Amino acid sequence: MKKFDKDRVLLAVAGPALALVSAFVLTVIVLAASGVDPIDPLRVMIEQAGYEDIQILIVNTAGFYYLAALAVAIGFRMNLFNIGVDGQYRLAAMVSAVVGAAVTLPGPLHILLIVLVAMGVGAFWAGIAGILKARRGVSEVVSTIMLNAIATAVIAWLILPKNLGFQPEGSNDLTTGDIPESGWFPAVTTAGGDIYGFTFIAFALGIGYWFALNRTRFGFDLRATGASESAAQASGVDAKKMIMTSMLISGAVAGLVGMPLLLGESHTYNLSFPAGIGFTGITIALLGRNNPIGIFFAAFLIAFIDKASSGLDTAGYAKEIGTIMKGLIVVAVVISYELVRRYGIRRQQQKVGEELAAGHAIKTEKEVAA
Amino acid sequence: MPPAPSRQGECVITASSPPAVELHGITKRFPGVVANKDIAITVRKGTVHALIGENGAGKSTLMKILYGMQKPDEGTIAIDGEQVSFSNPGEAIARGIGMVHQHFMLADNLTVLENIVLGGEKLYGIGAKARKKIMEISDAYGLGVRPDALVEDLGVADRQRVEILKVLYRGAKTLILDEPTAVLVPQEVDALFDNLRELKAEGLTVIFISHKLGEVLKVADDITVIRRGTTVGTADPRTATTKQLAELMVGAELPSPETRESTVTTTPMLQVKGLTMAEAAGVTAPLPVAPPEGATDDTYVHESVPVGRLLLDNVSFTIHKGEVLGIAGVEGNGQTELIEALMGMSTPHAGVITLDGTDITKTPVRKRREGGIGYIPEDRHRHGLLLESPLWENRILGHVTEAPNSKKGILDPKAARKDTERIVREYDVRTPGIDVTAASLSGGNQQKLIVGREMSHNPKFLIAAHPTRGVDVGAQAQIWDAIREARREGLAVLLISADLDELIGLSDTLRVIYRGRLVADADPATITPEELGTAMTGAASGHLEATDNDSAGADGDATEDEAR
């Protein structure tokens, strides 16, 4: 029994380890093939991570990456591919920034209102894809990709000064106005800079995610539906309702992705608000195998690559090396996880086979005795 | 070498020509298990050679080796006296070996002709020449195949003939038939055997895989018995009895599904009144209906099924406490729909379902399960298990809201695991632990887990759909015991099965379903599989009484089949 558990842990770690090693080797090969010193850029990146301000940057980035990956992972566990996290969090950040700037409430309530609005908007946007899937069978992959594009257009229109936006004096940026100080989330100040307070909420959400999925009836139903829709239905899960619910939850978590930045630093939604985090979240959820701890490490790894690679420019290397690394990680992850999975199944069948053979032997002896 | 514990019914006719197939010392190991061990079989030319053994004995593996789908680790294969080694089915086909799989491999939306030439276009083209060849073969062996019929309009027996023709078209001289009778009603089985005799008469060789002993004795010239991966003996069908074969096959006496003492009470547990369900317009599903009596020897092409037809037509019945109601019918006549309506997975268009006095017609699946409906699904992989999940999570499936799996919405993995261990122990599920995935268990052990799970929640009413399908004999007996045990304690059971012996043996009451209607009822104490088979094709209705004539001849069969 114990041995089996050890095997499982080993197998669980083997996948990511294999993926990272092969991604590293592939990166070195790509660098060497492009005529660049294959090791030096990596050294530069590691050196970058030694600076305190870069470290803070990595922690903060990992925070919202973590949220994005959780949002994607909720979908994955139920066999839904929510590619729309990107549109969901941007629209949520924008609308909640407008609401936050428009009202003044006592501190905690103000923050709570902004967060709830963001979750609501994210859930609403994901819910559109959910309804389309549950009622009409539209693939959520297609609808969420399209909703991303629609969200971009809606934001661009809403943020026009004639609608909800403002154009600060002497700037060509557009913003949603500033959120008063009561809506700022307190930060943890360190020597290297501020860690957004919301980052800790993000990581705490991982615990909630684990509990909800592994320890509640709802989580079991969700995982069962993801594992086999027909079996889940026969067991009493309303599949359509489950599609809707998981899309809404995924969207609500996606709505939180912009919160660390909005509540901690920018206090407004403007044209330079980061985009594309939703897609990074897919990479991280994959790499972390939808496991809250796995996602935690994966979020830090990707944040490291992102932030440390920006220093490559000054060292005379292209910072796109970071993008290449991320791409190679995705490829390596998909392949190595599948390899490890097949190995695990073979191993297990072998064990079951041995057990059966042993069982038969016992039975035979009994027969002889009889 | 074959230990041959009992009889040796060997080649009486001394072979003047080399045997069609000679397997010698075949051994095949899979990781952890030996599927075949030192197998020796000699198949004489122009005979029907039966290969019998219970599920999982290694028959299929052996045939896959002969058909080139697997390579043996040891041993030799000789075809017509010549040693061969196949690395793929193509090479086996080239040497005249053809295989008809248990599950038909036909494209429904193509015609018979198209299906036959598909992949064999080089042989006779796809036009007039191919058609001529097909008709030639069909006439030569009395297959009665119509080249232009759409396969989706064909019944099961006709599809099987198309499969046989497909193999012959490719020049097969030796045909392997894998459990060909599993999907047929008794009348169709007889028709198939007539076909096999024709093939034999033309000098072809047939290897017939089965575990139905009565049938084997009817058609085979030679019998080889396989047990636990090795040949344990041969038998002469002219002298052997089903009982002897059964003991050779299992190594012990066979279990029988008989339930004798009645436990039926007068308290109704499940009442179904006027249950009706229509097919959604625009969807057509082929209805594999067997041809009516008298048409068994000829190809019978069905009229295409009208859109929006009734899948369940005014179905009414009552199951009392302690009663097993068996539903007989050719698959696809509304059994699946009936189960889905009772489970709440689909909504009937009319009718009332009452469980223990409560109207549950509109109750969702989960509430019905909580209310005491147990469910052994017909397709355990699709409806009964999470294949990639560990056993203990599979124990929770379907009962997530009930003790010991959860309390107030929160799962209790510890209790669930403990209870899984109990089920594994009590129901003899062979597994190294409860953390292995369901997929790695054998079919019989998966089924035992499901039965154990459903019985653990003390159901009032159990839906058992093909409870022993694809399950080895040992597990079969255990599952029957579990059902009988619960029945004694007042469980009401709806039993749906394609195994007529199981139906007759376990049921207290029998009903026949045909095209969504309950057309006939019968007393399991007097009915024979043949009579039931006739009613399943829609040829008989009302209350089935065994006529004296019939029962005399059929009784012998029944005893034979009981032993299987």
Domain boundaries, chain A: 64-289
Please tell me whether the peptide bond between B286 and the residue prior to it is cis, using omega within 30 degrees of 0. no
CA neighbor of B239 nearest in space, from B226, B212, B221: B221
How many residue pairs from chains A and B have C-beta atoms closer than 8 A?
128
Residue showing tokens 């994005």: A68
Q: How far is A6 from chain B (nearest CA, A)?
A: 12
* Residues in CB range of A233: below 8 A, 6 or more apart: A239, B345, B365, B383
Instruction: Please report which confidence band the pLDDT of residue B262 belongs to, taking 50, 70 and 90 as the band edges.
Output: confident
Residue numbers of chain A with a pLDDT score lower than 70: 1-5, 353, 355-370
- Decide if A163 touches B, using CB distance below 8 A: no
- The DSSP annotation for B191-234 comes to HHHHHHHHHHHTT-EEEEEES-HHHHHHH-SEEEEEETTEEEEE
* Residues in CB range of A84: below 8 A, 6 or more apart: A125, A126, A129, A140, A143, A144, A145, A147, A148, A151, A251, A254, A278
Q: What pLDDT was estimated at residue B285?
A: 43
Q: What pLDDT was estimated at residue B206?
A: 92
3-state secondary structure of A224: helix
Q: Which two tokens stand for residue A149?
A: 């594009």
The residue in chain A having the minimum alpha-carbon distance to the alpha carbon of residue B341 is A234
Chain A residues with CB inside 8 Å of B34's CB? Answer: 357
pLDDT tens readout for residues B489-527 = 889 999 998 888 888 888 999 999 988 889 888 888 888
Q: Is B369 left (phi over 0), alpha (psi -120 to 50) or beta?
A: alpha
Whole-angstrom distance, CA of residue B123 vs CA of residue B107: 20
* Residues in CB range of A301: below 8 A, 6 or more apart: A20, A287
The residue in chain A having the minimum alpha-carbon distance to the alpha carbon of residue B393 is A220
- The answer to whether the Cβ–Cβ distance between A352 and B32 falls below 8 Å is yes
Residues 433-472 in B contacting A (C-alpha not used; CB under 8 Å): 433, 435-437, 439-442
pLDDT tens readout for residues A204-263 = 999 999 999 999 999 999 999 999 999 999 999 998 899 999 999 999 999 999 999 999
Residue B128 pLDDT more than 90? no
Residue B550 pLDDT more than 80? no
Q: What pLDDT was estimated at residue B260?
A: 62
Instruction: Report how far Cα B127 is from the mean position of its chain's Cα atoms.
Output: 36
- H runs (alpha helix) in chain A: 2-33, 40-48, 52-77, 85-102, 107-136, 140-158, 197-215, 217-227, 229-234, 239-255, 259-261, 277-287, 292-309, 320-369
For the entire predicted model, the pTM comes to: 0.76
The residue in chain B having the minimum alpha-carbon distance to the alpha carbon of residue A227 is B386
CA neighbor of B48 nearest in space, from B237, B203, B219, B184: B219
Chain A residues with CB inside 8 Å of B228's CB? Answer: 360
- The answer to whether the Cβ–Cβ distance between B398 and A234 falls below 8 Å is yes
Q: Report percent pLDDT > 90 for chain B.
A: 21
- Decide if B398 touches A, using CB distance below 8 A: yes
3-state secondary structure of B283: coil
> How many residues are recorded in chain B?
564
Strands of B279-405 (E only): list them: 310-320, 324-328, 350-355, 358-359, 373-376
Residue B383 has its nearest CB partner, among A4, A230, A367, at A230
- H runs (alpha helix) in B456-563: 473-488, 500-506, 529-536, 548-562
3-state secondary structure of B496: strand
Instruction: Report how far Cα A23 is from the mean position of its chain's Cα atoms.
Output: 20
Residue A351 has its nearest CB partner, among B367, B409, B436, at B436
- The answer to whether the Cβ–Cβ distance between A351 and B432 falls below 8 Å is yes
Segment of B271-275, B535-539, B545-549 carrying the highest mean pLDDT: B271-275
Q: How far is B245 from chain A (nearest CA, A)?
A: 18
Answer for the pair B312, B334: CB distance below 8 angstroms, yes or no.
yes
b/e string for B338-369 if b means 16 or more Cβ within 10 A?
Answer: bbbbbbbbeebeebebbbbeeebbebebbebb
Q: Which two tokens stand for residue A358?
A: 């042993």
3-state secondary structure of B510: strand
Whole-angstrom distance, CA of residue A63 vs CA of residue A368: 66
Q: Which two tokens stand for residue B384?
A: 């009964």
Residue A231 has its nearest CB partner, among B30, B384, B474, at B384
CA neighbor of A226 nearest in space, from A333, A301, A140: A140
Domains, chain B, ordered by start: 6-250 (3.40.50.300), 385-457 (no CATH)
Q: What pLDDT was estimated at residue B560?
A: 38
Chain A residues with CB inside 8 Å of B410's CB? Answer: 215-217
Q: What pLDDT was estimated at residue B12?
A: 41
Strands of B21-148 (E only): list them: 21-30, 33-43, 48-52, 74-79, 82-84, 97-100
